[in-house]
Structure 1
Amino acid sequence: MNDLPSAVRCLSLDTAAVRVTEALAARGVEAILLKGAGLARRLGQERHRLYTDVDLLVAPASFDLAQRTLADLGCHSALPEGRPDHRSHWYERPWRMPGPLSLTIDLHRGFHGVTDPEALWTGLSASARRIGLAGGLVAVPDEAGAALLVALHAAAPGRSDRPRADLLRALEVLPVDTWRSAAGLAKRAGALPSFALGLRLTPAGAALATTLALPRQGTPALWLRAHRSSPAALTIAQLAELPGVADRLRHLGPRLFPTPASMRHSSPLARRGPVGLLLAHLARLARNVGRLPAALNEVRAAQRGDHG
C-alpha cells in the first residue's frame, strides 16, 4: 500500500470498525466485518487492497438497535430524511461517522441476492473468526463466507471495478472445497442464483460454476445489475418480475415521484422552494422519459441473453 493518504484512510476505517463493533457489543449486538481488512487478509492482500468504507453485518432482529447505537455515537444517516431512500438497497443503510475524515459505516442486515437474511446471519456468525485490528478485535467471515460475499458482490458491482478484481483474486487463492462450502451457504441463504451469476462473470468462475454444478436460474434483473446496466433498465426489469399490480405500483411510485426530502437531497434546484421542487420533478421526469427507449433495449437484450 504505497499511497500514504489511502493507507491513513484505511487505518482510520479500521479504527472506526473497532470502535463501532465495541459500542454494539456493549449493547448486546454482535457484528461481523464483511470486507475491509478481513477480506484483504483472506485474499492475501493486506498491503495492497484499499477500501473506502466499513461494512458491518448484524442480525436482522438487531438492526434497529444497531442504528440507534450509531446515532448515539454521533453518526448521522446518509439517506434523506423522512424515509429510507429507494435507491439504497433494503439490506443496508449508510451512516457517516463524526470527525475530520468523511468515513462511512454501511450497516447491513443482509446482502445483495440474499432472500433469507436470517439464514445468512446464522451461517456467517456460526463460522466467523476474530482477528486483531487497530488495537482491538473484530469478527470476520471464514474463508467460505468470504468466498460467498465476493461472488455476491461481483453480481452487484455498482460502478466499481473492485468486486470483479476481488473475485479474480479469490478464484486464484481459495480452493474448490471452499467454494463448495460457499455454495452451500448461498443455497441456505436463498442466494444461489446471484452466487452462480457472480461466478460466471469470469472464465475461471464459469468453469468453477460448472464443476460445482451450479444452476442457471438468473433473471433479467439480476443479469442487468451484474452487467452495470442503467438504473432505468433495472427498474423496468424488476417491475416485470413482480407478481401483481399493487406490488408494481409500490415499486414504481417512489421511483417516478420521490419524496420532497429525497429530491432536496439529490437536487440543488429542488432546494429552491416549492417552484424549484416542481421544476426539479419535471426535469427528472423528462430525463427518465428520454432514457426509456435505450432502457427498453437493454431489457430486451437481457431477456434474450444467458442469465446464468
Structure 2
Amino acid sequence: MIGHADASRGSRSRADDRRERTVGPALVTCVECVATRSRVPIAAASIVRDALLVTPVTPAAGGNGLAMRAGLFLEGLSRSFRVRCLVVPVFGSAGRSDGLVDRLAATSQVLALDPVPDAVQDLRVRLAAQAPRARAIAVHPRPALCRSATMTAAHALADAAAGVEFVHIHRLYLAPFLDVLLDRQERPVLTIDIDDDEAATRRACGEPDEAEAYERLGNYYLPAVDHVFAASAIDAATVATTYKLAAVTPISNAVRLPPLTGKRGRSRRAPTHDLLLVGTLSYPPNAEAARWLCEEVLPHLNHASVALVGSNPPPEVRALARDSSVTVVGAVADVTSWYERTRVAVVPLRAGGGTRIKLLEALAHGRPVVSTTVGVHGLDFLPGRDGVLVADRPAEFAAHCQSLMDEPEFAERLAVAGRDVVARTASIEVVARDSDRIFRSLLRSRSEDAAISDRVVALGAQLHRNRVAAETCHLLTAAGVRAILLKGASFGAWLYDSLLDRSCADIDLLIDPVAEPVAQAVLARHGFTTLHGRSNAMLLGHPAVEWVRGHDHVDLHRGRFWGITVPPDEAWLVLSEHTERFELGGRQVETLNVTARAFHVVVHAVASGPTSEQPREDLRRALERVPLSIWQDAARLAAVLGAQAGFTAGLELTTAGRDLSRCLVLDGRAALGRLPSLDAALRVAGPPRFATGMARLLALPGL
C-alpha cells in the first residue's frame, strides 16, 4: 500500500504484491500495486486522498464500452486521488485487464459475490432495521442485475471503502451495494455515473418490468447520493427532470487517439471489409443493430462485405454469417487492425441510451462513420461535417455507405474532420482533465462546508418531516380518523430548546384500531406503501405498521405502543383522553399531554434498545425537567395501561430514574414493581431482534 505521496507519480516504481485477503464478510481478491504513474505529477505539498471506484467490470483503455467508460473515470480520479478499484462482477466475470488498472490504481479488488444469493434471508436481515426495511419497501422488486446486492455484499463494500473520502459507483444497478454506507452519518462523498437513462433504454427494448424496476432504483438512490453523472447533456437533463435532482453533470465518453498510418491517416493496408460494426454483440440493442444492418441494409449495397466484431455474439448474430459477405468475429485483443482494414465504420443502433463510445473510437481511428439517429444520441456532431453521416431508413443508410465507398476523397475528408472533433472534445486527456476538476470540486465543497451543510440538511430534513407529519394528520382527520402524533416534534418542543433540535427518522401516529382500514386507504391514496402486514410487524417486535413514500416514513400504531399490555381498543380509550394540541407546519395537530408523554418517554427508551442514543437522551432530559407530580400521574397511567413492567425497566436505565422510582407511590404503596417482563429485560440487554420476537411469540395466548 502507498504510505505517503511522492513528489510526483512518475517517481514511483512498480511493485506487485498479490495475495488473498478477507474484506468484511466477503472474500476479495486483492492485487495491491504501487503503480508507475508518469502522466500527471502531484506536487510535493499536495495531500493525496483516497478514492474508491466501484465498477461491474475491470476498467480498460479499450474493449467493450462499459469497461472503457469505467477506465475514463479511473483516468479522471487518478489525477488527484489514490484510487482503490473494486470490481463487483454482476455479469459473472470481472473481465479482461489490459494494464490500465495496474498503471493507474493503487489497489485492485474483486468482490466475491454469492452466485445464488438467499433473497429471503437477505430480506429478513433488511426487515430487522428501520432504514434497510424502508429501502426494501421503496425499491423491491429490483432489477435483475441487483440480485447479488445483499446486505452482506454491502458490508463488504463498506469495508473496502474504509478510510476513503470519495466513492464513485459506475452504473445505477450497483447502487444497492451502497446500502451500508448510505446509512452512516459519517460517510465519504458518494457519486454515481448512470451513463444513460436506463429505465428509458429498457422500455425501448421492450422490457417494461425492468424499466419500472430501474425507475424505483433511481427514485430512491439518485437523490440519496451527493452527485450524479451522465454520458450526455441530453440524458443529464432528462434524468434531472425525471428524478427531481438539482443537477446532473454530463461527463462525455472519451477515447485515446491512436497513431495513424499513411498519409493523412489513410491506411496502407488494403481493405478486407467494406463495413465494420464493433460492439458487445451480446447486448440486445447491438445484436438487433447487426441484424438490421445485414438483413435490411446490406441488400441495398453493391457486393459489400461486413465484419461484425465484438464479444459473445449470440446464435442469431452468428447465423448472419450464413451470408458469405458477412464475417462474425468474437472478442479481439485490439480493434486497431480491424479499423485499418475497413472502409466505413457503422453504428446502426435503433435502441439504447448514453453516447456511443464505439462511434468515437471509430473516428479516433480515422474511419468515417454512418450512423442512425440513435447512434449519435448525445453527441454534438454535425452530420455531413464532423465525421458522421446519419440515416434511419435502410435504403438511405445504404446510400451513405455506398457514397463513402465510391468516393474515397470525400470519405477521407469526413474521417479527418471527425478525428479532429474527437481530439478537441472527446479525447481521454480533455475529458479526464475536466472530470478531475469536478471530482476535486465536490470534495472541496464537502470539506469546506461540511459542518454548515450537515446542519442545514438536518434542519431541512426535520422541517420536511414536520410538514409531512402535519399534512398526514390533516389528511387523516379529514377522512374521519383521529390521529395523535407521538414523539418527534412533540418531544422536541417539550424537551429541547427547539422542536428542530430533536432529530427523528419517521413519523409515529396513534390511531383508533377501528379506524385502521380507513387510515390505510388514506395513506395508500397519497402514495404510501407497506411491505409487511401487521402480524409480521408485531412478530418482529414493531408495535406499528410502517408505511413508506420515498424517504417519508409513517408508523401507524393501533391504539397502543410498546409496553402497554391492555388490548388496543382499551389503550386507545385511555390515551385519547390524555391529549393536547400544538401547532406544527402551520397546522394544529393533536399530541399526548405531558402526563402521557412522560409515560411514553420512559417506555420508548426501553423499546429502542441500548444502542439507540436519541431515546436515552429524551429520557435524561425528561428526568431533569418533569416535576415529581407529573411522574406520579405517569405511574398511575402505566398501571391503568398494564405497563408497569416497561415503565419500571425504563426508569432502571439511569441512576436518576432509579431514584425517582423509589419516590413514586400509589395508595400508600410503591407504585412500581422491581421485576420487568422478559421482553423488557431483553430490550434493555440489547439481544438480536430475533430474541425479542421470540419473547413476544411465547407471550401469545395458547403458546
TM norm structure 2: 0.33
Q: Deviations over 1:99-155 (max 9, x none)?
A: xxx010111112001112333322332231111111111111111111111011111
8 Å CA contact 2:496, 2:502 repeated in 1: no
Q: Match for residue 148 of structure 1?
A: 599
Q: Match for residue 526 of structure 2?
A: 73
Matched ranges for 1:114-125 at <5 A: 114-116=564-566, 117-125=568-576
Q: Match for residue 20 of structure 1?
A: 472
Change (3 A) 1:11 1:221: same
Change (3 A) 1:89 1:63: farther
Q: Match for residue 63 of structure 1?
A: 516
- The structure 2 residue matched to 1:223, chosen from 676, 681, 684, is 681
Q: Is residue 2:563 matched to residue 1:113?
A: yes
Change (3 A) 1:224 1:62: same
Change (3 A) 1:90 1:51: closer
The structural deviation recorded for 1:96 is 0.9
Q: Is residue 2:455 matched to residue 1:7?
A: no
Letter paired with 2:628: V
Change (3 A) 1:239 1:59: closer
Q: Is residue 2:685 matched to residue 1:234?
A: no
8 Å CA contact 1:120, 1:189 repeated in 2: yes
8 Å CA contact 2:646, 2:677 repeated in 1: no
Matched ranges for 1:30-49 at <5 A: 30-46=482-498, 47-49=500-502
8 Å CA contact 2:488, 2:507 repeated in 1: yes
More helix by share: 1
Q: Match for residue 131 of structure 1?
A: 582
Q: Deviations over 1:66-115 (max 9, x none)?
A: 111111111111x24797445544630111125xxx01011111200111
8 Å CA contact 1:131, 1:138 repeated in 2: yes
Cα distance in 2 for residues equivalent to 1:92 and 1:17: 16
The structural deviation recorded for 1:226 is 2.1
Letter paired with 1:221: D
Which region of structure 1 is more displaced relative to structure 2, 214-223 or 7-16?
214-223
8 Å CA contact 1:120, 1:185 repeated in 2: no
Q: Match for residue 181 of structure 1?
A: 633
Letter paired with 1:138: V
**Structure of higher CA gyration radius:** 2
Cα distance in 1 for residues equivalent to 2:694 and 2:553: 30
TM norm structure 1: 0.72
Structure 1: runs of 5+ lacking an equivalent: 248-308
Cα distance in 2 for residues equivalent to 1:221 and 1:81: 22
Cα distance in 2 for residues equivalent to 1:82 and 1:207: 38
Letter paired with 1:40: G
The structural deviation recorded for 1:235 is 4.6
Matched ranges for 1:81-92 at <5 A: 84-85=536-537, 88-89=540-541, 91-92=543-544
Change (3 A) 1:231 1:166: same
Cα distance in 2 for residues equivalent to 1:88 and 1:183: 28
Matched ranges for 1:154-165 at <5 A: 154-158=605-609, 159-165=611-617
- SS in structure 2 of the partner of residue 155 of structure 1: helix
Change (3 A) 1:136 1:223: same
Q: Is residue 2:555 matched to residue 1:103?
A: no
Change (3 A) 1:118 1:182: farther
Q: Deviations over 1:11-43 (max 9, x none)?
A: 111111111111111111101111111111111
Q: Match for residue 357 of structure 2?
A: none
Change (3 A) 1:21 1:239: closer
Cα distance in 2 for residues equivalent to 1:125 and 1:118: 10
8 Å CA contact 1:13, 1:53 repeated in 2: yes
Structure 2: runs of 5+ lacking an equivalent: 1-450, 665-669
Q: Deviations over 1:203-237 (max 9, x none)?
A: 10011111112112313332011221223443555
Cα distance in 2 for residues equivalent to 1:210 and 1:172: 16
- SS in structure 2 of the partner of residue 182 of structure 1: helix
Cα distance in 2 for residues equivalent to 1:81 and 1:178: 36
Change (3 A) 1:234 1:75: closer
8 Å CA contact 1:129, 1:140 repeated in 2: yes
RCO (CA 8 Å, sep 6+): is it higher in 1 or 2? 1
